[in-house]
Amino acid sequence: MSPESAVALPDQAMAPRPWRIRARHAEIASDEVFSWTLEPEADSGTDADSNTPPAPGQFNMLYLPGVGEVPISVSAITDDGGIVHTTRAVGSVTRAMQDLGPGAVVGLRGPFGTAWPLEQARGRDLVLVAGGIGLAPLRPVIHAALERRADFGRVVVCYGARSPGDMIFRDELEAWGAHDDLDLRITVDRGTAAWRGDVGVVTQLVDRGGFDRRNTLAMTCGPEVMMRFTAAALERRGLKPEDIYVSMERNMRCAVGFCGHCQIGSQFVCRDGPVFPYPVMEPAFRIREL
């Protein structure tokens, strides 16, 4: 590529900025899933007021020097501009992240990607369907819906986890369940002797309805097979495919659509997503083992 044809990228796209871990919280007993609250490192030239705040659904690239870099969705924004990321330790980078606590400094690039269509949902019923750690990218949507409750009709949150011990944000789940104006439904794949809730796949919660199929916008995040069956369940309830949004987070490396690792058909997940209207991803969902 010649210098004349090169695409100019903003500094935040390529240069990691130092952010310090202010707090760390284990989301499940095994500590396999944990949340960091990050704040800009002092004297780094970055502050929370000047930094572009991530929109619900966007992600940042988190960098550990000498280890590597991974894309992590934003799971919350604190009142003072701190950014919360919730991570599952599954690879070399995230396992190294698991060992870091308050005071450690990491690199951050972003925010990147498309956001959940909250403005498009204004005045409509809102259905959110999450599987496992897929609740993390939808958590800012729940926060926004509760803060702007009058902007939406019914708000239905369906959450599925492998077991009661695998549920994340347990304190918030309890608080959300106490809201009279939010319909929280939870199921697990495997119950325990103490579990008194639903057992089964999360799509069974969608099948119960409780929303206006003619005026609903749905958002879903989780394993791709779960999102495919969720979309099918929502369509059975009468939703149009274009009123369903999915979040894809696979194989992202560069965050700017250059490396090609996250390409699905003509789409680059990091650049064109991770949030997509379901009709854009539906052809890929029909290809087994893609």
Q: What is the pLDDT along the chain (290 residues), one digit of tens a residue?
A: 333 434 455 666 678 999 999 999 999 999 999 999 999 998 655 555 556 789 999 999 999 999 999 999 999 999 999 999 999 999 999 999 999 999 999 999 999 999 999 999 999 999 999 999 999 999 999 999 999 999 999 999 999 999 999 999 999 999 999 999 999 999 999 999 999 999 999 999 999 989 999 999 999 999 999 999 999 999 999 999 999 999 998 788 899 898 999 999 899 999 999 999 999 999 988 887 66
Domain ranges in the chain are: 11-112, 118-285
Of the candidates 201, 253, 197, 244, the one whose C-alpha atom is nearest the C-alpha of residue 225 is 201
Contact (Cβ atoms closer than 8 angstroms) between residue 182 and residue 155: yes
Q: Can you count the helices (H) and strands (E) in the chain?
A: 9, 15
H or E stretch including 177? helix 170-177
Phi, psi of 93 (to 5 degrees): -70, -50
* Per-residue burial over 199-224, b = 16 or more CB atoms within 10 Å of its CB, e = otherwise: eebbbebbeeeebebeebbbbbbbeb
- Residue 51 confidence (pLDDT): 65
Residue with tokens 């992590």: 72
The answer for residues whose C-beta is within 8 angstroms of residue 111's C-beta and 6 or more apart is 52, 53, 54, 55, 58, 59, 60, 74
231's CB contacts (< 8 A; 6+ apart) are 220, 241, 244, 246, 278, 282, 285
Joined together, the tokens standing for residue 238 give 């009468």
Beta carbons of 38 and 20 less than 8 angstroms apart: yes
Report pTM: 0.92
- Please report, in angstroms and rounded to a whole number, the separation of the first and last CA atoms in the chain: 30
Residue 6: per-residue pLDDT: 42
Q: What are the structure tokens assigned to 36, written together?
A: 């960091």
Angle at Cα 94 formed by Cα 33 and Cα 111, nearest 5°? Answer: 95
How far is the C-alpha of 151 from the C-alpha of 170, rounded, in Å? 26
User: CATH number for the 118-285 domain, one of 3.50.40.10, 3.40.50.1700, 3.30.70.330, 3.40.50.80?
Assistant: 3.40.50.80
Quote the tokens at residue 10. Answer: 């903003």
**Edge-to-edge strands of the sheet including 275-277?**
198-199, 183-188, 155-161, 125-131, 216-221, 244-247, 275-277
Instruction: Give the span between the Cα atoms of 250 and 284, in whole angstroms.
Output: 13
Q: 3-state DSSP call for residue 215? A: coil
Q: Tell me if residue 104 falls in helix, strand or coil.
A: coil
Neighbouring residues of 86: CB distance < 8 A, sequence distance ≥ 6: 27, 33, 34, 35, 72, 73, 75, 133, 136, 139, 168
Q: Which fold has domain 11-112?
A: Elongation Factor Tu (Ef-tu); domain 3 (2.40.30)
